[in-house]
Structure 1
Amino acid sequence: MKHLPRPARRALLVVHVAVSVAWLGLSVGLLALGLAAYTTQDLSLTHAAYRAMKVFADWLLAPVALVTLGSGLVLSLGTPWGLARHHWVWIKFWITVATATATIFALRPEISHAAAAGVPDSSLVAAPAVSTSAYLFMTAISVLKPWGLTARGRRLRKSASRPAPRGSGATVGASSGKPVDAPSGRRPA
C-alpha cells in the first residue's frame, strides 16, 4: 500500500487513538459494572448493572472494536511502520483481532444472557478484566515499541539498503532516496 499523506495519516492516528482509548474506557466501565453485579447481595442492582452493560454492548462494543481494528490496519499499511515489519505492531494487530472477535462473538451474547437472567455471573468480571489487561498491554507497547524488527522487516531493510542495479531506473527510497526503514530524524506520526 502506498504511504498515506501526512494530513491523512495524522487524522487517522487521532481517530485510532481516540477509539482505542474509548475501547479501554468501555472495558473498564464494563469491569466496574460486572464487579458491582457480581459482588452485591441486591438482585435488583445485579439486574440493573447487567442491563447497563447490555446498553454498552449493544450500542458501543462492536463499532468501537471494528473502528479500532480498521484504523490500526490502515495506519500500519499506510505508514513506514508496516503491518509485519515490527514485532510490536504485529503483536498489537493479532491481540486486536482476538479481542475484537471475543468481544463481538462471546462477550456481547454473554452480556445479553446475563441481562435476561439477572443472576451474578463471574465470567462478566473475568472477561472485562482480561480485555482491560490486553488494552493496557497494547498501550504500553505502542508507547515503548519494544522487540525491534521482524524477520520480514529485517529482509525489507536489507533489500532497501542495497544499491539499485545500474540501468534499472529503480531508486532506493520511494521519494527520499534513502532506505525505506532508515531513520528520518523525525518520529513517524
Structure 2
Amino acid sequence: MAPRIRKTLLVVHIVVSVALAGEVWGLVVLNTVATLTEDLALAHTAYRLMPFMIFAGGVPLSMTAFITGVALGLGSHWGLLRYYWVAIKLVLLLAVIGVGIFVFDPEGMAAATEGARQVAASRQWGQVAALSTQIVMLLAATTLSVFKPRWRLR
C-alpha cells in the first residue's frame, strides 16, 4: 500500500475509533442518567435519544473503523492475523458491534418507561453494564494499538 494511502486510512481509522469511543461514552452517560433519575419523562427522553445516536454515530463509525482496520491490516506489514494485537483488536471491535446489536436495547427501555411503570433496576443496570463493557473493549483496543505487543500468531 502506498504510504500516502496508508497514512490517510490510518488517520480515518484513528478519528472514527476515537469518535466511536465518544459516542459510546455519551450512551453510558445517557443510560446512567435514565437509570438513576426518578423522573420518568427524563428517563424516557434519554432512552428515546439513544437510537438516534446509535444510527447516526455508532453504526457508521463502527463499520468505518472495521473497514479501515481490515484494510490497514491487509495493506501493512502488521498483517490482519499475523500479530496477536491486531487479531485481538479485530475481535474486540466485532465484540463491541455484537454487544450493540444483541444486548443494548434503548427502544425496549423507552417503551418500558412509558406511563407510570417502573423499569426493573436490574434491566436498567444491565444496559449500563453493556455500554460500560463496550468502553472497556475500546480502551483495550486503544492500549494494544499504542503498545503493539510483538507476539506473533503461528
Shorter-chain TM-score above 0.5: yes
Residue number among 135, 138, 141 corresponding to 2:138 in the alignment:
135
User: Contact 2:31–2:47 at 8 Å: present in 1 too?
Assistant: yes
Q: Which structure carries more relative contact order (alpha carbon 8 Å, separation 6+)?
A: 2
Structure 1 residue 104 displacement after superposition: 2.9
Tell me the amino acid that sits aligned with residue 104 of structure 1.
I
- Once the two structures are superposed, the pairs formed by residues 13-162 of structure 1 within 5 Å of their partners are 13-107=10-104, 110-118=105-113, 120=119, 121-151=124-154
Aligned residues: 146
Aligned to 2:9: 12
The alignment's C-alpha RMSD in Å is 1.4
TM-score relative to the length of structure 2: 0.88
Distance 1:97 1:9 in 2: 22
Contact 1:54/1:115 (8 A) holds in 2: no
- TM superposition shift of 1:147: 4.8
Structure of larger gyration radius: 1
Moved over 6 A (4+): none
Q: C-alpha deviations, 1:78-128, integer Å up to 9, x for none?
A: 000001111100111111112213223432xx1121123225422221111
Q: TM-score, normalised by structure 1?
A: 0.73
Structure 2: any 5+ residue segments left out of the alignment?
none
